[in-house]
Amino acid sequence: MFRDEELKKIKDERELWHEKVVKKAIERFPERKEFKTTYGDEIKRVYTPEDIEDLNYSEDLGFPGQYPFTRGVQPTMYRGRFWTMRQYAGFASAEESNERYKYLLSQGTMGLSVAFDLPTQIGYDSDDEMSEGEVGKVGVAIDSLADMEILFNEIPLDKVSVSMTINSTASVLLSMLIAVAEKQGVSPDKIRGTIQNDILKEYIARGTYVFPPKPSMKIIDDIFEYGSKNLPKFNLISISGYHIREAGANAVQEVAFTLADGIAYVESAIKAGLDPNVFGKNLSFFFNAHNNFIEEIAKFRAARKLWAKIMKERFGVTDKKAMALKFHTQTAGSTLTAQQPQNNIVRVALQALSAVMGGTQSLHTNSFDEALGLPTQKSATIALKTQQIIAYESGVTETIDPFAGSYVVERLTKDIEKKAMEYINKIDEMGGMVKAIEEGYVQKEILNSAYDAQLKIEKNESIIVGVNKFQLEGEEEPSEVLKIKKEVEERQVAKLKKLRETRDNEAVNKALEELKKAALNNENVMPYILNAVKVYATLGEITNLLRDIYGEYNESVLI
Amino acid sequence: MSWENKFNSIIEKFKSGEIYALAKMVSLVEDNPDYAWEIISKLPKKEHKQIIGITGSPGAGKSTLTSKLVEKLAKKGEKIGVIAVDPSSSFSGGAFLGDRIRMRNITKSQNVYIRSVASRGSVGGLCDSIFDIVDVMESFGFDKIIIETVGAGQTEIEIVFVADTILLVMSPDSGDEIQMFKAGIMEIADGYVVNKTDLPEANGFMTQLKNTLMLEVESKSTRRVFGTSSVLNMGIEDIVSWFDEHYNSLINTGELNDRQIRRNKRRIRSNLLRILDKVVYNYDGKIEDLEFAKEKILRELCKEENNYEK
Amino acid sequence: MSRRIRVVIGKPGLDGHDRGAKVVSRALRDAGMEVIYTGIRQTPSEIVNTAIQEDADIIGLSILSGAHMKLCEKLLKLLKEKDINIPVFLGGIIPEDDIPVLKEIGIKEVFTPGTSLELINNKVKEIVLGE
């Protein structure tokens, strides 16, 4: 980027500046002790052209919408259309959630993001013993198509895009969505949205797995195959680094493990006979927007660049659209504090800003009270307004990739790319991501980072305002939190009981029997699940049937 | 309640088959190695039952295999005690005991008792109290006791001195096995399990293993090689029936008796070493006196040794 | 050898976020305790059985899903029924006004996000040695 003589001059001047100016300044005003990235690299006092000596504009950056997509996946980015403001929501039963969705849509939210309760995510009906106490708690409880019909009542599925955080039971919930759309008169090729469908990070970080990795990957291939043919506007997977970061990973690990998961999915799909040029376009990613503003911007850029290279060089993809890493972002839930919760509004705003600077395609901003419990309508509204203020008032959306060319951002972008690639190589050597997960390697790496970060807080090497510094004296006013009433579970169980009595049970048994045969014969299970869902077979019935065939996963934990 | 009453009440509950009393009793011998023999002497004496040791390198799938074997045995109605050993941290002395996680399928069974044990400074893949813990479990009346070793690899030969039947678990996709061949740990086992036979490398590995074992011309005709897949639930039945086969052959050939003698010797050795260690470590008199004592003991022992060496 | 504190760390319910459980497990281990971790998705009765079989000195629960009331009630009831006296502490996202209720039903200590590991280590030791 710079001529040699110019670099030489800068070096000389920098050394002189250090000798004559910095040293004296440090004597009078000593610096704080340690300056490090989350992945342990020294952060310099100042970055200069010397630090981006190895940067090649055309190869490393290019232009927005062009390979390697470092500067963004669309040519006009936010000048054409803002990111999708997509707030993750869902609680209690389908009725309450439907009401919240309609409210959010009226307030300017652009796409829905459905939070399911844990029994739904793990494939237990609300009346299952395992579901006790969990129904409707962290999301909405869905037992059958009947609940799904209520959830999307008066929400036109050809207009509103729907993202669903659902993984091991994604095939069932996706089938329910298709069935509801059909009932609304919307054909499958018109529905837009995303299913998370990322099972590998469930083994690593989030824990809603059901089956062992092999059959789980097989189901994902089934969804890819079915979706590539029937759901052209739908993202069939959201490969998620979000939860990996929440589990304690640093920025490099977030990029590395997410992309390594991505590689595993692409390999598996290719093995199953799918064309990466086709399904590559239906892949999307999901990242975390954490505290370190500059590092985070570099992280998003590095991830985009690295994925484009992987798709092109490793998988020989030729279609540019299948190389572009599109991603959703959520601000980091684990950075929210229970102490002085209103401070969280500011944390969320800064994190959201880094995601926008990093070129996100959609964004969820957390509610300030999430360290205390489920968000209230008031706190959820502030979270959404935060995004609107960034979009409409801050002016940061007018220039694409505004931090490009910043010495530090470009340096960190290259460093994160390189270090993430080192992890990916190591995982390749181990025999791939599934193996690395089964052996507990990935989980252990993350735990090491999480533990170190925690110790830094305890030694006051990292400061969290209101927690280990600037605490408020005396009692804080308790914040209002949303409580899910006991009746929700009772109501849901009663609803389910009634459904089992009134549906055509013969049709249910027949559909389940056919699904069983298909699963045993290694056929694509999607069409059979769709049939079962349509006759109101429950989520639990379908998942338990598959549980019997595929078995359940037991994790390996290394501490 | 006085200490003695408390202790007697635990013994009563232990005799009536209460699991919590068994657990307390295991802790008692583990925490008080010097008095373990006294505690054990108060427990009912039962007939010796088969002790099975399961060893192998990390990642070979020991815990998962153990849980599948135990599941089968428990379903047949046998009462099984499992001792799962994990390493203690040499810095803090604490330990993370995580084997149970992979044994979820048997934790609910009424017939199974699982005890996680930390190595507490022992380096042979077990813990120093292992003999005492086994005694306590034997007295409780299990049909089989299964010990899963730490699984740190090559130095784990201590199990030879504890178990009647030793199963070595190997995975065809790990380089560690080659090291085991070299380190001679291969010789300690009675049964060899090649886990993960669903992997492509498995066949070649099995052949190589069988050849190696054939080359050692020993009269150990009871040695067997098994292929299993914990994932596919295959080969478990064979091992389970071999357990009884092997135990019967130990009885019939008199080998069981030899192994018991070997076990008792090792136990006495380990007790003596522990006590000696404590005495030397805590000694604060003149070093010359200690030297003198050492020489005296050695002289006595050498005399003894000459008598035994015949 | 001195007696070591044995802790059972359990994650009852369906919540799979185990960062807290694992970080606390490591801290307790590094403080010299023997930690038996049950893994995620355990029923209260599985955790109680583990604590019995392992002769735990204390049980620690980690719950972030909001299901803490029901799960704690159930677990404490089981201990009571079996007449077993093992103290129980809880960590996770627990609303302020639930804490006194939890303590009333028998939870010894509640740790919310931001609690230092040192404090947890000390409290665990304090509770065990006080029993």
**CB within 8 Å: A555 and B101:** yes
In this structure, is residue B310 part of a structural domain? no
Nearest by CB to B59, from A439, A555, A559: name it: A439
Region of poorest pLDDT, from A286-290, A389-393, B114-118, B301-305: B301-305
The answer on B181 and B57 residing in a single domain is yes
Name all chains with 3 or more CB-CB pairs below 8 Å to chain B: A, C
Amino acid at position B34, single letter: D
Say which of C66, C96, C116 has its CB closest to residue A137.
C66
In a domain, B258, yes or no: no
- Asked if C46's CB is within 8 angstroms of B97's CB, the reply is no
Nearest to B112 by CA among B86, B137, B92, B139: B137
Say whether residue A248 is in contact with chain C using an 8 A CB cutoff: yes
CB contact under 8 A, B101 and A556: yes
DSSP structure string for A312-345 = IIIT----GGGT---EEEEE-GGG--SSSTTHHH
Least trusted range by pLDDT, from A256-265, A475-484, B224-233:
A475-484
Q: What is the pLDDT of residue B206?
A: 82
Whole-number pLDDT of residue B2: 81
Give the nearest chain B residue to A558 (CA atoms).
Answer: B98
3-state secondary structure A60-84: HHCCCCCCCCCCCCCCCHHHCCCCE
Question: Which residues make Cβ contacts (< 8 Å) with residue C66, sequence separation at least 6?
Answer: A137, A138, A373, A374, A484, C93
* Residue A165 near residue A114, CB atoms below 8 Å: yes
What is the tens place of the pLDDT at every residue in C54-93? 999 999 999 988 889 999 999 999 999 999 999 999 999 8
- Domain identity same for B222 and B249: yes
Nearest by Cα to A64 from A76, A80, A78 = A76
Q: What SS3 state is found at A55? A: coil
What is the percent of chain C where pLDDT is above 90?
84
Mean pLDDT of chain C: 94
> What is the rounded CA–CA span in Å between residue A143 and residue A494?
12
- Pair C4, C10: CB distance under 8 Å: no
Residue A329: both structure tokens together = 């972002």
B130 and B163 in one domain?
yes
Count the helix, strand and coil residues of chain A and give each as a percent rounded to the nearest 5: 55, 10, 40
Mutate which of B96, B109, B113, B122 to disrupt the C interface (most C C-beta within 10 Å)?
Answer: B96
Q: Is the pLDDT of residue A190 over 50?
A: yes
User: Could you tell me if B82 and B114 lie in one domain?
Assistant: yes
Instruction: Kindly report the three-state secondary structure assignment for every residue of chain B.
Output: CCHHHHHHHHHHHHHCCCHHHHHHHHHHHHHCHHHHHHHHHCCCCCCCCCEEEEEECCCCCHHHHHHHHHHHHHHCCCCEEEEEEECECCCCCCEEECHHHHHHHHHCCCCEEEEEEECCCCCCCCCCCHHHHHHHHHHHCCCEEEEECCCCCCCCCHHHHCCCEEEEEECCCCCHHHHHHHHCHHHHCCEEEECCCCCCCHHHHHHHHHHHHHHCCCCCCCCEEEECECCCCECHHHHHHHHHHHHHHHHHHCHHHHHHHHHHHHHHHHHHHHHHHHHHHHCCCCHHHHHHHHHHHHHHHHHHHHHHCC
- Based on the fold, state whether residues B212 and B160 are members of the same structural domain: yes
Min mean pLDDT across A131-140, A335-344, A377-386, B191-200 is at B191-200
**Residue corresponding to tokens 């409880």:** A141
pLDDT at B174 over 80: no
Residue C84 in domain: yes
Distance CA A488, CA A471 (A): 38
Radius of gyration of chain B (CA): 21
Q: pLDDT tens across A471-500, in order?
A: 887 756 666 777 888 899 999 999 999 999
Question: CB-hemisphere CA count at 13 Å for A107?
Answer: 21
* Contact with chain C for residue A373, Cβ under 8 A: yes
Considering the domain boundaries, does residue C130 fall inside one?
Answer: no
pLDDT at B176: 61
CA-based nearest distance A464→chain C, Å: 9
Q: Report which DSSP code applies to A202.
A: I
Does B120 contact C1 at a Cβ distance shorter than 8 Å? yes
Whether C111 maps to a domain, the answer reads: yes
Q: Does residue A206 sit at the C interface (CB-CB below 8 Å)?
A: yes
Q: State whether C30 and B98 contact (CB < 8 Å).
A: no
CA distance C111 to chain A (A): 11
pLDDT of B108: 86
Same-domain check for residues B80 and B184:
yes
CA–CA min distance B304, chain C (Å): 31
A555 with B59: Cβ contact below 8 A: no
Task: Return the closest-CA partner of residue B34 out of B277, B228, B235, B201.
Answer: B277
Asked if B274 reaches chain C (Cβ–Cβ under 8 Å), the answer is no
Mutation site, C4, C33, C86, interface B, largest B CB count within 10 A = C4
Does residue B34 sit in the same domain as residue B59? no
Backbone angles phi, psi at B132, to 5 degrees: -65, -40
**Per-residue pLDDT tens for A453-464?**
999 999 999 999
Of A38, A347, A88, A334, give the one whose Cα is nearest residue C18: A334
**Any CB–CB contact under 8 A between C17 and chain A?**
yes
Sheet containing B191-194: order of strands: B112-118, B80-86, B144-148, B51-56, B165-170, B191-194, B224-227
Closest Cβ opposite residue B31 in set C3, C37, C53: C3
Distance of CA A47 to the CA centre of its chain: 31
Joined together, the tokens standing for residue A527 give 């069409």
Residue B123, pLDDT > 70, answer yes
**Do B2 and B124 reside in the same domain of the chain?**
no
B271 class by beta-carbon count within 10 Å (0-12 exposed, 13-18 middle, 19+ buried): middle
CATH of the domain at C49: 3.40.50.280
Which partners does chain A have (≥3 C-beta pairs < 8 Å)?
B, C
- Single-letter residue type at A54: D
pTM: 0.91
Q: Do A202 and C16 touch (CB under 8 A)?
A: yes
Q: Which residues of B touch A549 (CB under 8 A)?
A: none
B236 and B87 in a common domain: yes
Instruction: Compute the half-sphere exposure of residue A63: CA atoms within 13 Å on the CB side of its CA.
Output: 2
Residue C129 within any structural domain of the chain:
no
Q: Say if residue B93 is in the same domain as residue B236.
A: yes
C62 inside domain:
yes
CB contact, 8 Å: B113 with chain C? yes
Residue type, B223: R
Q: What is the structure's pLDDT at A439? A: 86
**Residue A320 near residue A65, CB atoms below 8 Å:** no
Q: How, if at all, do strands A111-114 and B51-56 pair?
A: unpaired
Q: Residue B220: is its pLDDT beyond 70?
A: no
Chain-centre distance for alpha carbon A174: 18
Q: Rg of chain A's alpha carbons, rounded to an integer?
A: 24
Q: In A, which residues are within 8 Å of B71 by CB distance? A: none
Which chain B residues are within 8 Å of C46, Cβ to Cβ?
Answer: 107-108
Domains: count for chain C: 1
Question: What average pLDDT does the segment C100-106 reach?
Answer: 96
Per-residue tokens: A39: 């992945």
C-beta of residue B279 within 8 angstroms of C-beta of residue B177: no
**pLDDT above 80 (res C131):** no
pLDDT at B310: 46
Burial of B152 (0-12, 13-18, 19+ CB in 10 A): middle
Among C29, C95, C117, the residue with its CB nearest the CB of A373 is: C95
Q: How far apart are CA A191 and CA A171, in angstroms?
A: 16
Q: Does B116 touch chain C (CB under 8 A)?
A: yes
Per-residue confidence band for B154, with pLDDT thresholds at 50, 70 and 90:
low
The pLDDT of residue B155 is above 80: no
Phi-psi region of B121 (alpha: psi -120 to 50; beta: other; left: phi over 0): left
Task: Report the domain count for chain B.
Answer: 3
Say if residue B170 is in the same domain as residue B55.
yes
CA-to-CA separations, C122 to A292, A518, B63, C125, in angstroms, rounded? 32, 56, 33, 5
Instruction: Specify if C131 maps to a domain.
Output: no
Whether residue C29 lies within 8 A of chain B, CB to CB, comes out as: yes
DSSP state of A188: G
**Domain carrying residue C16:** 6-124
CATH number for B187: 3.40.50.300
Q: Is residue B309 part of a domain?
A: no
pLDDT score at C1:
41
Tell which residue, A226, A340, A329, has the closest CA to residue A286.
A329
CB-CB under 8 Å, C35 with B95: yes
To which H or E segment does residue A96 belong?
helix A94-106
Q: Which amino acid is at A101?
A: Y
Nearest CA in chain A to C71: A133
Question: Chain B within 8 Å of C27 (Cβ-Cβ)?
Answer: no
Distance from the Cα of C21 to chain A's closest Cα (Å) equals 11
Report CB contact under 8 Å: C114, A467. Answer: yes
Facing B104 at nearest CB: one of A214, A554, A558:
A554
* Domain boundaries, position B148: 48-253
* A208 touching chain C per CB within 8 A: yes
Mean of pLDDT over chain A: 94
Average pLDDT rounded to a whole number, residues B156-180:
81
Q: What are phi and psi of C98, to 5 degrees?
A: -80, -25
CB pairs under 8 A between B and C: 80
CB neighbour list of residue A503: distance below 8 Å, 6 or more residues apart: A535, A536
CA of A14 to nearest chain C CA: how many angstroms apart?
Answer: 42
Domain boundary among B28, B44, B60: B44
Whether B5 and chain C come into contact, CB under 8 Å, resolves to: no
Q: How do residues A426-451 score in pLDDT, each as one tens digit? A: 999 999 999 999 888 999 999 999 99
Residues of chain B contacting A429 with CB distance shorter than 8 Å: none
Taking the Cβ of residue A332 and every Cβ of chain C, the question of whether any pair is shorter than 8 Å is answered with no
B83, closest residue in chain C (CA to CA): C54
Q: Which two tokens stand for residue C94?
A: 């627990």
Indicate yes or no: CB of B19 within 8 angstroms of CB of C52: yes
Residue count (chain A): 559
For CA atoms C114, C118, C121, C123, the dihedral sign is: negative
Contact yes or no for B107 and C35 at CB 8 A: no
Indicate whether B61 and B39 sit together in one domain: no
Q: Tell how far CA A300 is from the center of its chain.
A: 13
